[in-house]
Every structure is written in C-alpha cells, then in structure tokens.
Amino acid sequence: MRAARGAALCVAAVAVAHTARAAADRLVLLDGSAIQDTVKAIDAKGLVHRASGKPPLDLQALRRIERPAKPSPAKPAPCEVHLVAGGSIQAADVAFQKETFTVRWAYGKALALPLAAVRGLRLGSLPGAKPGAAPPAFDASLRAQEVRRDELFAIANGKVQVVRGGLQAVGAKQVAFYWNDAERQVGRAKVYGVVLAHRGPRPELAGQCLARLADGSSLWVADARVDGGRLQGRVGGEVAVSLPWTAVRRLDVRSTRMAFLSDLEPVEAVEEALVTYPGPWRRDRNVVGGPLVVGGKEFEKGLGVHARCRLTYDLGGRYDAFAATIGVDASASGRGDCVFVVSADGRELFRKRLRGTDRPAAVRLKLAKAKRLTLLVEWGEDLDLADRANWCDARVLKQEDAK
C-alpha cells in the first residue's frame, strides 16, 4: 500500500511538473531562438522579469512572447473596429459622436477612441454569408494606402452598395452619413460597415507591442508593461488600456533593434514578367496569396514575389545586418528555378540559385550602415514558370544584434 501511494505521489508530481512546464511562456529572441520561462512583470524600463529568477531581458531584445492563453470559442463579435495602426477590436457595440468612438468590449470599461485612431468599422454581417465574411471591396478599402472620402457599405436587396461622403454619427438604430450635399439617416441594420478616409502609410510603431487577445482582438500598445497580472499601456495615441494578462495569447514586439521588410515601404518596386503573369509582390503571403512555406515550414513574416522582381528599401544607414530564409514556395509543387540576389548601395553582397526541389537557405549579411538595400529575384532555367520566390523572415537589424 505504501509503495502504491508513493507511486501515485510520483505520478502526481510528474503531472504537476508537466503542467507547470506547459503553462510557461515562450520568449522568442531576435535571432529566432526561444526561452521557456514565465513572465512575472514588464517594468516601466522595458525589462522583462521572469519567474525563474534569471536576469531580466530587455523587451526590445524579443520578437514576441507566446502565452498559454487559449482563444475563446465564441462566434464573431457583433462589431469590429479596425485601427489605423493595424489590428482590430472585437466589440459588443460601437457608437460614434463628436469625433469619438465609444467601443464596448470584453475587457473592462468602454474605450473612447479618437477619430484619428480608427480606420474602419464592421457593424453588421452579410446576408446568407458565412460568419466573418466581408465584402472584397470593404477589405480592399481597409488595405488601401489612400481613401479620399469616408465609404459607407450599405446592404440593399441582399447586395452591398458603396456610398462616399462623410460619417456623422453611429447610434443604436441609425447611422448618420453625409452625401449628395445632405446628411442622411441610414438604418443601422442596413449598414455592413464604414471605412474612414485616410492617406499615407500607417504610423510608426517602433517600440510598441501588438497584443493578440483571446477573443480575437489585436491592438498595438505603446509603453507596454505588465504589473499586478495586467497588461497596461496606451492605444491610439493617449487612450489608456488595462487588460488581464491571462487574456493575452501573444505579445509581438516591434523592436527598435529590428525591422521586418514586410512592415516597411519599398522606395522602388519593379516587376517584369517573362512569359507568365507574375502577380504583385505581397507582404507576409506568397505571391498567390497563400502562406509563406519553404522546406515544410510556414513563416508568418516575409515577402512573396515572382521572378523577375526587384524591391529597394531606404534604410538611411540605420541597420548593420540583413537576415532571411529564402526558397521557392511550396505552392510551386517542386517547380520553379530562381536566382536570389542581395545588394547594398549598389554593391552585390549575395547571389544564390534555388530550385523548387532545393532546401531553403539561410542568409545573414553585414550591411555596414548601407543606405539602400535591394532584393532581386531573377528567373533561372525554364523561363519564369512557377518562379514563386519567398524572402521569409526578411529583416534588418541594428548593431546590438548583428553577430
């Protein structure tokens, strides 16, 4: 009996230890390596304190913190607020008056977001469509670099129509919208959503963190810190937020020491097809719109292009190293033959030919404070057929992280 009890205690101890390990956070460093530990706090200086008692880590030395929080199995929220900085808030309700959006959501008191912080609203759903489905034109307007006037997406006879003018108010039953020289009231039930006028690139987010929450919301937080079991910081400029740390699934860090090229705007993009239609280059997707996959591994960040494509970035001498994993995308099914070339300030630093059957290659190059970086994919043999090239995890780093 005593032996059986001892065995049971050992099993229980192993189970508890396994649970403890499973509940640990995963801290991913800038070089891609990871540490299993539990985040106790992030202080005002940006130091990440760990339960293991090991020395704190600089938040800016991390790419992300992966948390054990699980996504909520809930249906899509009644409303969604798309933010200018990127990300969105799953909302129970949204109101708009006097240039302020009042957003009711799952995490405490309502948020009062200024007009300048919001890019668009989803207020309803498409008749007969799957939950979460959006009109292509709505998604295109959200992604567009410039929308000259506010766009109201109204549902009439089962179809979506776009009206351009100016949003005046969003109430419980009516949406006030100005068009054709008059303010008009539209029943809220007939409005799918609104995209607000915007121009230019998204705001600079260096040093901020993207908090991905259990309910599907994601929002950029400035001055992020964790104290007393809550993630605190500012959203949309000066709006204070305080979220349960247990609701955070992941915290992506836009490190001041590193920039993904897919988050930057190229100063030049040249695409030249040989015999096929190449499709435009894409951020964080392959050239046909699917995930970036090389060597059986899927990457969240990177650039998908079709040969021949040349992308040039103005780095302004701020970075010392370039790194990426390159290869032909898995969607080419083993076909494709590409030549990857990296140049800095007009000087070629790297050249490698890869076929669809080749293993991906890791690239890490010193930039020596180069002002311009150019990524070029040339076609190899077989013309440009299936030349779906990926610059996975393409990033530039400052000296602290260049080794």
Q: Cα–Cα distance between 98 and 357 in angstroms, integer?
A: 59
Output the pTM of the full model.
0.81
Res 381: pLDDT: 78
Q: Cα–Cα distance between 292 and 274 in angstroms, integer?
A: 23
Which residues on adjacent β-strands are paired with residue 177?
Answer: 167, 184
CATH 2.60.120.1060 boundaries in the chain = 259-401
Q: Which residues contact 208 (CB under 8 A, 6 or more apart)?
A: 85, 220, 221, 222, 224, 254
Take residue 130 and report the two structure tokens written for it: 């799957």
- Mean pLDDT of successive 10-residue segments in the chain (403 residues)? 44 40 83 93 97 96 91 82 95 96 95 96 85 85 93 90 96 96 95 94 89 95 96 92 95 94 94 76 93 95 95 95 96 93 97 95 94 94 82 88 41
For the chain, helix (H) and strand (E) counts, in that order, are 2, 37
Which alpha helices (H) appear in 205-350, and where do they start and end?
Answer: none
Res 400: pLDDT: 56
Res 129: pLDDT: 73
Q: Cα–Cα distance between 385 and 379 in angstroms, integer?
A: 9
The single-letter code of the amino acid at 285 is: R
Res 277: pLDDT: 66
Take residue 315 and report the two structure tokens written for it: 């780095």
> What is the residue whose two structure tokens read 């993207």?
210
Check: CATH 2.60.120.1060 for 259-401? yes
Q: Cα–Cα distance between 74 and 79 in angstroms, integer?
A: 13
Q: Cα–Cα distance between 258 and 7 in angstroms, integer?
A: 50
CA 293 to chain centre: 17
Res 166: pLDDT: 97
- Three-state DSSP at 116 gives helix
Ramachandran region, residue 284 (left: φ > 0; alpha: ψ -120 to 50; beta: rest): left
Ramachandran region, residue 122 (left: φ > 0; alpha: ψ -120 to 50; beta: rest): beta
Q: Cα–Cα distance between 248 and 250 in angstroms, integer?
A: 6
Which residues on adjacent β-strands are paired with residue 79?
Answer: 91
Q: How far is CA 47 from CA 24, 40, 112, 226, 392, in A?
A: 18, 11, 29, 10, 29
Contact criterion met (CB below 8 Å) for 189 and 156: no
